[in-house]
């Protein structure tokens, strides 16, 4: 089992009221599985993704990735674990503005000390048709190129799990298809993908689809 | 990819913010260097002024010494050593001592280590009748000055009369129609006129000077003298008793008579001028020291203010940088970059800012030093090079800590 959540709850206290953004969610994703979570804005999708990504401590329940519980690790070890096992893709691409395409992709090696980061970056740029944009800054790229760059960065360290938060939200159909196919391809190569989206068409690329409502998860 | 590469790219991207930080540090370091250079320039100027004043004082004192020496020649001598048993009434009446003392006394004095007198002039004087000319004269036998062997030798004030010659006072050569080179006979001895003095209006006008050995022979006082004139007594008149005591120790059967007290006053004046010169020099030193202290106090007040203002500004810029890079912090954390590395990224930027600002400030300081002809020493350069990065690191420490405390989940949720 690559990814397993057991009764995970994340509560926030706002204006004196406890709100369960994620409410006793259990989820398992096998290696090679492409899972999606759909739901309306504010239903807790992004919170779920951050919990899985080791960035947000759950209020209760356990998260394990590759049989390791990241929240049982120290902050530095968890960061290292994240660098080696998890890749993130965001709706807003989140590229570093002063780095070019190649440097943005290689920046994933800042924490993981990838020995062949430059070579791997070349492969990924080739794969995502970015080679002729290698020296371009993020602001000089189209939205599709930006997301492909973010995807390449997420894949640099060959993670076991790819977490994608509305990766096609800002893309046209053609670019969205490229990204979704890439995610499917990642799963096809044995990786695990968790896609959160409100776009039913994007969720259609997934092997399993889950629906989230009011912090609770249900299988479609 | 490493944090150095990341930092250099970020600096290149946010040139203005980085440049302003560098400039403010350069101003702080420049102000520090400038203050140190101004203080050093002040010290150098002080040294120059004091050296010049010291030299001027020495020159003035030397000129004054010469004045006094000349005055002593013209007006007489202030101390005369005569035999102890000489009746002073007779001495004042005759203006010479009838009693005599051994000539070797003068050698004893010169070798005694007496510190208050520079030269001794032994003489044998007597009022005689010049038999060949049938007139009364004062005959002085002199051998020239005997220098005090324990003092620095200086040019003698009185030249000896060469043997076989005679020096004549004005009245003598004028009344006898003698001139330099003429031959005269004195008590049966043939002498050549060596020098004829101008009119002085004193008993010198009826005085004839010959060499001491010849005078001793003519007056039948071989190896005897009747006066030793002490020249250049280097002490105020109020300390005459010290000279007396010193001489009495060496020559117990003599006494010291003070003459021409006007000269003693001159000597005192000379000491006063010297003392005033020293006091003026000391006042100059005190004035310069006070000025330096005031400048130091101003520097001690201004530099911390400039440093604190600079640190506050650099800190403000660092806060801005952290705020601008919030998203980047979130991305880097999601990529697995640990908090220590995030901390290092911001401190590395601060260190680069400090080094660049320090180098600029140092260059400005060196240029100022060159303009003011002040050499910047190694500690000053080292201080400037150390202060800048430390200042920048200290100012950026809290913003960098804040960067590490950013919640990546919160940032990414906002993004």
Q: What per-residue confidence (pLDDT) applies to B321?
A: 93
Q: What per-residue confidence (pLDDT) applies to B121?
A: 85
Q: What per-residue confidence (pLDDT) applies to B382?
A: 87
More confident residue, B111 or B216: B216
Question: A55 and B12 in contact by Cβ < 8 A?
Answer: no
Considering only the beta carbons, identify the residue of A75, A80, A107 that sits closest to B1: A107
Looking at domain A3-219, which of 1.10.3210.10, 3.40.50.720, 3.40.50.300, 3.40.630.30 is its CATH number?
Answer: 3.40.50.300
- pLDDT bin (cut points 50, 70, 90) of residue B244 is confident
* Token pair of B286 as six digits: 């005190």
**H or E element in which residue B117 lies:** strand B117-130
Q: Does the pLDDT value for residue B153 go beyond 60? A: no
Regions of chain A with pLDDT less than 50: none
The 3-state DSSP class for residue B70 equals: helix
A56 contacts: CB under 8 Å, gap ≥ 6? A10, A47, A50, B409
How many other C-beta atoms are found inside a 10 Å radius of the C-beta of residue A116? Answer: 11
Q: What per-residue confidence (pLDDT) applies to A140?
A: 94
Please state at what angle helix B339-371 crosses helix B3-13, rounded to 10 degrees. Answer: 60
A182-191, B94-103, B155-164, B324-333: the lowest-pLDDT one? B155-164
Considering only the beta carbons, identify the residue of A79, A106, A117 that sits closest to B336: A79
Tokens 């759950």, located at residue: A58
Question: A94 and B415 in contact by Cβ < 8 A?
Answer: yes
Question: A110 and B333 in contact by Cβ < 8 A?
Answer: no
Q: What per-residue confidence (pLDDT) applies to B70?
A: 60
pLDDT tens for B162-191 read: 999 999 999 999 999 999 999 999 999 999
* Token pair of B39 as six digits: 């203080």
- pLDDT bin (cut points 50, 70, 90) of residue B77 is very low
Å between A151 CA and nearest CA of chain B = 12
pLDDT tens for B251-272 read: 888 988 876 555 556 666 667 7
Q: What per-residue confidence (pLDDT) applies to A40?
A: 87
Contacts of B14 in chain A (CB under 8 A): 98
Average pLDDT over residues B145-149: 63
Domain extents in chain A: 3-219
Considering only the beta carbons, identify the residue of A81, A83, A98 that sits closest to B335: A83
* Token pair of A26 as six digits: 């259990």
First to last CA, chain B: 24
Q: What is the ipTM of this complex?
A: 0.88
Q: What are phi and psi of B128, to 5 degrees?
A: -135, 170
B73-87, B293-307, B341-355: the lowest-pLDDT one? B73-87
Question: B412 and A94 in contact by Cβ < 8 A?
Answer: yes
Q: What per-residue confidence (pLDDT) applies to B152?
A: 52
Q: How many residues does chain A have?
A: 220
Chain B residues interacting with chain A (CB cutoff of 8 angstroms): 1-3, 5-6, 9-10, 12-14, 327-328, 330-341, 408-409, 412-413, 415
A74 contacts: CB under 8 Å, gap ≥ 6? none
Distances B210 to B103, B155, B203 between C-alpha atoms, Å: 16, 21, 16
Residue from B1, B321, B326, B341 to probe the interface with A (highest A Cβ count within 10 Å) = B1
Query: For all residues of chain B together, what is the average pLDDT?
Result: 84
Q: Does the pLDDT value for residue B73 go beyond 60? A: no
Q: What per-residue confidence (pLDDT) applies to B395?
A: 93
Contacts of A82 in chain B (CB under 8 A): 334-336
* Token pair of A176 as six digits: 């969205």
Question: A81 and B2 in contact by Cβ < 8 A?
Answer: no
Q: How far apart are CA A137 and CA A133, in angstroms?
A: 9
Considering only the beta carbons, identify the residue of B331, B336, B338 that sits closest to A94: B331
Q: What per-residue confidence (pLDDT) applies to A149?
A: 95
* Token pair of B320 as six digits: 């801005």
Q: Does the pLDDT value for residue B124 go beyond 50? A: yes
Question: B336 and A107 in contact by Cβ < 8 A?
Answer: no
Q: What per-residue confidence (pLDDT) applies to B118?
A: 67
Q: What per-residue confidence (pLDDT) applies to B158?
A: 59
B192 contacts: CB under 8 Å, gap ≥ 6? B164, B165, B166, B181, B182, B183, B184
**Closest CA relative to residue B399, chosen from B352, B350, B366, B361:** B350
Q: What is the DSSP letter of A137?
A: B
Q: What per-residue confidence (pLDDT) applies to B231?
A: 67
Chain A residues interacting with chain B (CB cutoff of 8 angstroms): 46-47, 50, 53, 55-56, 75-76, 79-84, 86, 88, 90, 92, 94-99, 103, 106-112, 117, 153
Chain-centroid distance of CA B352 in Å reads: 49
Question: B338 and A75 in contact by Cβ < 8 A?
Answer: yes
């Amino acid at each position: 089992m690559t990814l397993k959540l057991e009764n995970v709850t994340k509560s926030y206290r706002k204006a004196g009221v406890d709100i369960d953004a994620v409410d006793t969610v259990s989820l398992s994703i096998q290696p090679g599985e492409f899972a999606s979570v759909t739901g309306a804005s504010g239903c807790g999708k992004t919170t779920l993704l951050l919990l899985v990504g080791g960035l947000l401590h759950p209020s209760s329940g356990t998260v394990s990735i590759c049989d390791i519980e990241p929240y049982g690790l120290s902050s530095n070890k968890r960061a290292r674990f994240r660098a080696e096992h998890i890749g993130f893709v965001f709706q807003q691409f989140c590229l570093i503005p002063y780095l070019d395409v190649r440097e943005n992709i290689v920046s994933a090696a800042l924490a993981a000390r990838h020995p062949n980061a430059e070579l791997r970056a070349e492969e990924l740029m080739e794969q995502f048709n970015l080679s002729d944009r290698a020296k371009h800054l993020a602001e000089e790229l189209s939205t599709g190129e930006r997301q492909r760059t973010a995807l390449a960065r997420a894949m640099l360290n060959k993670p076991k799990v790819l977490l994608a938060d509305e990766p096609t939200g800002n893309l046209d159909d053609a670019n969205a298809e490229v990204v979704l196919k890439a995610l499917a391809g990642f799963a096809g190569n044995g990786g695990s993908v968790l896609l959160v989206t409100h776009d039913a068409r994007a969720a259609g690329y997934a092997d399993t689809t889950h629906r989230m409502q009011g912090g609770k998860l249900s299988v479609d | 990819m490493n944090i150095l590469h990341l930092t250099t790219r970020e600096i290149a991207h946010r040139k203005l913010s980085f440049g302003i930080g560098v400039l403010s540090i350069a101003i702080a370091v420049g102000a520090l260097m400038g203050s140190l250079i101004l203080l050093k320039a002040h010290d150098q100027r002080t040294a120059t002024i004091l050296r010049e004043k010291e030299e001027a004082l020495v020159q003035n004192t030397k000129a004054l010494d010469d004045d006094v020496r000349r005055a002593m020649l013209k007006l007489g001598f202030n101390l005369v050593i005569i035999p102890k048993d000489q009746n002073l009434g007779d001495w004042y009446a005759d203006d010479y001592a009838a009693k005599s003392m051994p000539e070797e006394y003068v050698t004893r004095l010169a070798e005694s280590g007496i510190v208050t007198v520079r030269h001794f002039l032994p003489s044998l004087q007597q009022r005689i009748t010049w038999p060949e000319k049938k007139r009364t004269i004062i005959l002085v036998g002199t051998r020239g000055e005997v220098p005090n062997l324990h003092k620095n030798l200086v040019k003698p004030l009185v030249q000896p009369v060469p043997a076989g010659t005679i020096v004549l006072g004005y009245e003598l050569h004028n009344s006898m129609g003698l001139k330099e080179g003429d031959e005269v006979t004195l008590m049966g001895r043939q002498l050549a006129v060596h020098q004829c003095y101008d009119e002085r209006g004193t008993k010198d006008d009826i005085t004839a000077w010959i060499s001491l050995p010849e005078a001793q022979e003519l007056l039948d006082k071989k190896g005897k003298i009747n006066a030793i004139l002490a020249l250049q007594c280097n002490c105020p008149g109020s300390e005459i008793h010290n000279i007396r005591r010193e001489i009495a120790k060496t020559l117990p059967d003599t006494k010291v008579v003070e003459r021409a007290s006007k000269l003693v006053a001159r000597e005192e004046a000379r000491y006063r001028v010297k003392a005033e010169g020293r006091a003026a020099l000391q006042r100059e030193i005190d004035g310069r020291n006070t000025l330096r202290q005031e400048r130091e106090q101003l520097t001690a007040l201004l530099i911390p203010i400039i440093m604190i203002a600079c640190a506050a500004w650099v800190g403000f810029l660092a806060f801005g940088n952290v705020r601008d890079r919030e998203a980047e912090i979130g991305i880097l954390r999601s990529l697995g970059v640990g908090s220590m590395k995030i901390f290092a990224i911001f401190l590395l930027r601060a260190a680069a800012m400090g080094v660049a600002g320090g180098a600029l400030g140092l260059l400005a300081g060196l240029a100022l030093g060159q303009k003011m002809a002040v050499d910047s020493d190694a500690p000053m350069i080292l201080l400037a090079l150390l202060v800048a990065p430390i200042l920048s690191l200290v100012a950026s420490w809290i913003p960098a800590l804040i960067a590490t405390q950013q919640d990546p989940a919160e940032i990414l949720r906002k993004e």
